[in-house]
Chain A
């Protein structure tokens, strides 16, 4: 057979990366849109201003597209652990299954039931009850993020377990420790705030494009305002929670932290921080860099003094710690360039979002016409609607590439986790088909959002269960049983 140098491990890893990244385009977008739409509908409920209702319905359409794609790609995620990573499932079942099952039970049912209620009952419930539905959807989707991140946090930082001597598998001894994992409580706010920022800047970007065409100016300026206020609050929140999370890594996953900062050698007390840098990943050294003093210490410890371990040192430490169990031929270096640049993209974008929100809010003050005159700014906002997706992906690159070579930190390697009974041909087929399906769905999503945007907010909501000519009949009324 043709040898393409493909192996099960590489293909399974590629598939996990591809499906997760694609799934995670839609997850934060949905969580964030649910929140923004809930805020809009609440404002409608409070103020009685029909514009806010229109806004909730209009942006709600994009939420529904995104939710549909998010759900169907989510099933792949759940099945994938068993299909591609059966050894992992056996090893981790005692810990990993529980959050996954609770996620389905506590969160998915809530989300999916109330999204159906929200979609089809605009005319049937009073506005407060209807608003409650979207808040429940938002609550459900955040809850699902919490549970899946609880599972992820164990992989990053195992707590509350023992190794079963007979089976060699992990075994839960404290559920409290599993969900009290500090990694989780650093990760969860960051993911949720990031989701709110995602939705806020997509709405801001879409509004900017329409404002450039002077289309429904009042409507889009109002939308822009809601989006930018949310965008500002939560981009600041993302930065703060990101800072917490990063500093937690220094002791917990020092290799990941060192790679994010591109440090091969231990840092000096001067705290030189590489703004940009080149690497020789084979020789494990930095080839060139633009350094700024003290910044590394400010970022790491919020003070000017201190040192951070470099990757070469961490590699030695890890060999000392793990060689007995995993052998001396392990490679503990993570993909340095990926981590270094992903981290910079993420942090840079966070700052940019906050700045854009502030400037935008100033330009978009109620009596000012500045926003319509500063067209350059609208162009920038319009282009930035794509940025959150890049940033979210970069964030997961840091988190997941940074735990290499572990699938469960310090306990199980990625190489030992893959299904031994799945063939390269199977994996290759599924990779190709998933890729094609994702491409189609992604493209349709973009087309639908674009079309919705072009059609504008005045198009009637056609999803209503009672809308159109399909009138409802009471099943107990006489007419319903007459066969006419």
Chain B
């Protein structure tokens, strides 16, 4: 493994971390459009909190996908063709929730507004769940042949472990979204978000414990890297505890950073466990390794130069755009 290959493995991890941190609260907020927001006015406010951002957040996914293609095409090819139906459902979910915000705002009848509100809610739930399920299934090991082609059956990616992983990520996104809502609104929405999180955090703790136990039995992470895996799982729990503390003591930033770091811990856990592999095959001989899945040194070198030139500029205006919309939105007055 060359240092460039290692660097790109880390960079892919960083891009997915950025994606889960940002799109995590996006998904969470999307889920809140129904049931959490009670009136049409409230839904306007809920959607408006992510209005200027959801699009940019999703670009993190596109960049992660593109970067994977540009650095580890074998990984990209195996992962994307192997998890065909899961990714297809993710795409459908992302599409429906993506257009839902713009379409909903322009619908005239309640029926159609209702339709796009459900599209946002269900789409966000499904996207978060399916991403969680996909990555959990991925680390459990998949049937991969010599050519790197994966031929997984339904049971390979839908099983107890992967469903628990999916649910855990969904709940994590949901609490992250609620923490974001606490930061971005005032009044009744802000209070309700706090009240919801008081109930949801115990559920999340339970989910994390079950997930950690299944992780022990379903993956080789604890065998191969007992120290780091344990440390990251502990970190995950600590971040969640800090976030919960932020809920109980009403420290909004602490909660938001806590839930964001919890999501990032999940990504770190996965990438730490994968290393030095990128795809885990049931037959260890067929696992895809960092050293033989990457592009040529020339392309990696080129991508490194370009990324380190462009990414800092992107980060500057990306963060600036959050700063511009930093102000809180007031909850609508209850009219009836």
Contact = CB atoms under 8 A, between A and B. Distances in A.
Contact of B295 (A79, A94, A437): A94
A421 B82 contact: yes
Given A68-B99, A475-B327, A109 B59 contact: yes
B66 A113 contact: no
Most buried by A among B76, B77, B88: B77
B299 A172 contact: yes
Interface string A95-119: 1111011111110111011111101
A185 interface: no
Interface string A56-73: 000000001100110111
Contacts of A451: 106, 108
Contacts of B228: none
Interface string A108-150: 1110111111011100100000000000000000000000000
Given A112-B55, A117-B321, A475-B326, A75 B73 contact: no
Given A82-B81, A86-B81, A465 B52 contact: yes
A116 B321 contact: yes
Interface of A: 64-65, 68-69, 71-76, 78-79, 81-84, 86-87, 89-90, 92-98, 100-106, 108-110, 112-117, 119-121, 124, 164, 171-173, 175, 419-422, 426, 429-430, 433, 437, 441, 444, 448, 451-452, 462-463, 465, 468-475, 479-480, 483-484
Nearest to A441: B99
B333 to A, nearest CB: 8
A101 B76 contact: no
Interface in B65-107: 65-74, 76-82, 84-85, 87-88, 91-92, 94-96, 98-99, 101-103, 105-106
B69 A470 contact: no
B336 interface: no
A426 B84 contact: yes
A164 B82 CA distance: 25
Interface in B170-191: 183, 186-187, 190-191
Contact of A68 (B52, B81, B98): B98
A75 B64 CA distance: 12
- Most interface-central of A75, A93, A124, A426 (chain B CB within 10 A): A93
Interface string B292-318: 000110110011001100110010011
Contacts of B62: 74-75, 78, 104, 108
B284 interface: no
B69 A94 contact: no
Interface in B126-152: 147-151
Contact of A448 (B48, B81, B103): B103
Contact of A109 (B53, B63, B190, B325): B63
Dominant secondary structure of chain B at its interface with chain A = helix
Contacts of A468: 44
Contacts of A81: 69, 76, 80
Contacts of B269: none
Given A101-B63, A116-B321, A65 B102 contact: yes
A7 to B, nearest CB: 16
Interface of B: 41, 44-45, 48, 51-53, 55-56, 58-59, 61-63, 65-74, 76-82, 84-85, 87-88, 91-92, 94-96, 98-99, 101-103, 105-106, 108, 147-151, 183, 186-187, 190-191, 295-296, 298-299, 302-303, 306-307, 310-311, 314, 317-318, 321, 324-330, 332-333
Contact of A172 (B84, B298, B307): B298
Contact of B77 (A90, A175, A444): A90
Given A82-B80, A105-B314, A98 B70 contact: yes
A448 B321 CA distance: 28
A96 B159 CA distance: 35
Given A72-B98, A93-B76, A96-B69, A83 B81 contact: yes
A175 B299 CA distance: 8
Contacts of A112: 55-56, 58-59
Contacts of B295: 93-94, 97
A105 B310 contact: yes
A101 B70 contact: yes
Nearest to A172: B299
Contacts of B55: 71, 112, 115-116
Contact of A82 (B48, B79, B329, B332): B79
Contacts of A115: 55
Contacts of A109: 56, 59, 63, 314, 317-318
Contacts of A113: 56, 317-318, 321
A121 B320 CA distance: 14
Contacts of A105: 63, 66-67, 306-307, 310-311, 314
Of A426, A441, A480, most buried by chain B (CB within 10 Å of CB) is: A480
B13 to A, nearest CB: 15
Contacts of B105: 462-463
A437 B95 contact: yes
- What are the 5 A-B residue pairs with the smallest beta carbon separation, nearest first? A93-B73, A82-B80, A97-B70, A116-B52, A97-B69
A430 B59 contact: no
28 contacts: A65-B106, A68-B99, A71-B55, A72-B94, A75-B61, A78-B65, A87-B77, A89-B69, A97-B73, A104-B63, A104-B65, A105-B311, A105-B314, A106-B310, A106-B314, A113-B56, A113-B321, A114-B321, A115-B55, A120-B51, A419-B149, A437-B96, A444-B99, A444-B103, A470-B48, A473-B186, A473-B330, A475-B327
B69 A480 contact: no
A474 B184 CA distance: 10
